[in-house]
Chains A and B, each alone.
Chain A
Amino acid sequence: MLPFPEQFNENEWFIILNTTLGFIWVLFLPKRYPHVISILMILLNVSIAIIMDHLIATPPLDLYDLNDLKKYEITDIITYLMYSPYALLCVYLFDKFNPKGIYITAYVLLWSLFALGFEWLAVFFNVFHFSGWTFLNSFAFYLFATSIYIVFYKFIRKHMNNSKYQKGMP
Chain B
Amino acid sequence: MLNETELIDGCIKNNRAAQQVLYNSYCRKMMVVCLRYAKGIDEAEDILQEGFIKVFHAIKNFRKEAKLETWITRIMVNTALNAQRKKMYLYPMVDVEDLHLPEQEISLSGIHFKQLLELIQSLPQGCQIVFNLFAIEGYSHKEIAELLGISEGTSKSQFARAKSLLQQKLLKESTYYERYGEGRI
Partners in one complex: no
Binding site for B on A (CB under 8 A): none
